[in-house]
Structure 1
């Protein structure tokens, strides 16, 4: 018992000696170096960088997302079509980009500026080119109206689509009335590209693509794309390398127009053989897009070959 008492006394004594020593050593450690707080001497400059009350600068009521979180965004349907509440067809963005649509409208505007100039020029044959340009414009705005993504002029697209379609139909002849209407569309293009709003009312009839575009002008646009541009631009590796941007643009135009040809109510759109040729054309265009992205000139040439073959085989049975 005495030994136990002696051991406890020694332990208490040791603690009384060690603890103060540890405390003193801890206090003697140097403070860690810290970065100095920044000094803001120019208060005027601070006010140009930071808002004193940031919430006052926010426009509108605060938005809170109450929608449930979706699961895996990949549904596995790839580029399949989706019908909207208006019966429109989605997934255009898989075929043509918003930038290509806008660039095509700009090109149409330039062509119309020079093509719709004087009445004598218009009646002497210019009306045919006007019909072609306005038909392609109607197709572009038809796509914009259904586009599954952000694209310029979307809120106005349906009305613009319909007025350009009407003018294209009236430009089958070089009459004074057709010329005057073409001048209005020329002004509309100027306003649209300048950022103005065009007052265009939507056709009251139920929409279908056959009322918007005739096949011949769109076939003409395909011939320009495939024969005049894509074929020579993919004829060699050097041509391919020098014209990639134009190849991308034309390939997307071909893919989109090929898709239009298979829309309900389009001429021969419900014919399986005709739809097969159109889909073959679209497939070639999409393969060409992949070839550009992969920087593969040989694949690009093969894709254009598929498109050319589709045109030839289709024309043997169907005439525009």
Structure 2
């Protein structure tokens, strides 16, 4: 029987013979010579010292991190704006269902409190009613187009038409208009309580923003939101204490900025006006992003951008 040598010892023996066959002198002659560089040439390409490679102060690790974070935030905000434009109505990119629901309830209570007597209504109360009903009409219009689940969505179009009609009639005070406003108060109570709008004719019309809200009450609403944001972010500590209110008001401003550019709204076809409106929405979204990061100095900076965007708009449009 033929015996075979184990394979591993045989391979090691062969490798040893190969290594021994190459002498140290031969190995030395086979190595590549180190390259030679001409300083006159390399000095035009490479810096002689790291410190000479920077203009101004040498960047620190913390400054590079801050720059990276700021770049990431800007890219995120730009992507959010593009997503909003590319995803149909995109309201869910601007405002949460909770903010919509809370604001409907808040404005409804404010509207109720202003309806006291015909005399008070006719002497100025109709202006407050017009503002509150205009806000509600806008909120219901947004709810009707909202892509996610949100309360009152099935009745939103009907509620939108009812309150928008009464808001237009509240351009002046009179007893008939006061009585109409009282009917809207009852309708809104039924809606909020869960009974629905059974007494009203159901609407299935898509949003016609020219019939839903005028720019004047929306601009007044914007100013109220901006004032609240400023009060809620006087300093980082105040901002940290008012996170929920800041988030809601910032989302509402982002929403209003989008509404102002809808077909049928005044100057919506003006590219400069649309740019200013989108700047306000983008600044408002930056406040929401800063809240999520718990960066309250950035919250204050975002509120400052909102204020500046409003000032830029007021310089050109009134």
Taking structure 1 as reference, are residues 202 and 216 closer, same or farther at Cα in structure 2, changes over 3 Å only? farther
Q: Is residue 131 of structure 2 the alignment partner of residue 150 of structure 1?
A: no
How far apart are the structure 2 equivalents of 1:201 and 1:259?
A: 29
How far 1:82 sits from its partner (Å)? 5.4
Q: Would the aligned equivalents of 2:94 and 2:251 in 1 still touch at CA under 8 Å?
A: yes
Q: Would the aligned equivalents of 1:131 and 1:171 in 2 still touch at CA under 8 Å?
A: yes
How far apart are the structure 1 equivalents of 2:193 and 2:202?
A: 22
Gaps of 5+ in 2: 1-78
Show the counterpart of 2:271.
Answer: 272
How far 1:205 sits from its partner (Å)? 7.1
Q: Would the aligned equivalents of 1:160 and 1:201 in 2 still touch at CA under 8 Å?
A: no
Q: Would the aligned equivalents of 2:84 and 2:91 in 1 still touch at CA under 8 Å?
A: no
Q: Would the aligned equivalents of 2:84 and 2:93 in 1 still touch at CA under 8 Å?
A: no
Show the counterpart of 1:217.
Answer: 217
Show the counterpart of 2:121.
Answer: 122
Taking structure 1 as reference, are residues 236 and 123 closer, same or farther at Cα in structure 2, changes over 3 Å only? same
How far 1:201 sits from its partner (Å)? 3.2
How far apart are the structure 2 equivalents of 1:80 and 1:258?
A: 12
How far apart are the structure 1 equivalents of 2:225 and 2:89?
A: 24
Show the counterpart of 1:23.
Answer: none
How far apart are the structure 2 equivalents of 1:123 and 1:188?
A: 21
1:1-320 equivalence runs, <5 A: 79-81=83-85, 89-199=88-198, 200-201=200-201, 207-227=207-227, 229-319=228-318
1:233-259 CA-to-partner distances (Å, cap 9, x unmatched) read 112011101111100110010000000
Q: Would the aligned equivalents of 2:226 and 2:306 in 1 still touch at CA under 8 Å?
A: yes
Gaps of 5+ in 1: 1-75, 84-88
Q: Would the aligned equivalents of 2:141 and 2:207 in 1 still touch at CA under 8 Å?
A: no
How far apart are the structure 2 equivalents of 1:203 and 1:104?
A: 22
TM-score (norm 1): 0.71
How far 1:302 sits from its partner (Å)? 1.0
How far apart are the structure 1 equivalents of 2:191 and 2:94?
A: 24
* Higher share of residues assigned helix: 2
Deviates more, 1:230-239 or 1:267-276: 230-239
SS of the equivalent of 1:80 reads helix
How far apart are the structure 1 equivalents of 2:185 and 2:176?
A: 14
Q: Would the aligned equivalents of 2:254 and 2:280 in 1 still touch at CA under 8 Å?
A: yes
How far apart are the structure 1 equivalents of 2:197 and 2:249?
A: 27
How far 1:197 sits from its partner (Å)? 1.2
1:109-163 CA-to-partner distances (Å, cap 9, x unmatched) read 2101210121111111100000000000000000011000101111111111011
Q: Would the aligned equivalents of 1:119 and 1:179 in 2 still touch at CA under 8 Å?
A: yes
How far apart are the structure 2 equivalents of 1:82 and 1:201?
A: 34
Q: Would the aligned equivalents of 2:236 and 2:296 in 1 still touch at CA under 8 Å?
A: yes
Q: Find runs of 4+ consecutive structure 1 residues off by over 4 angstroms.
A: 202-206
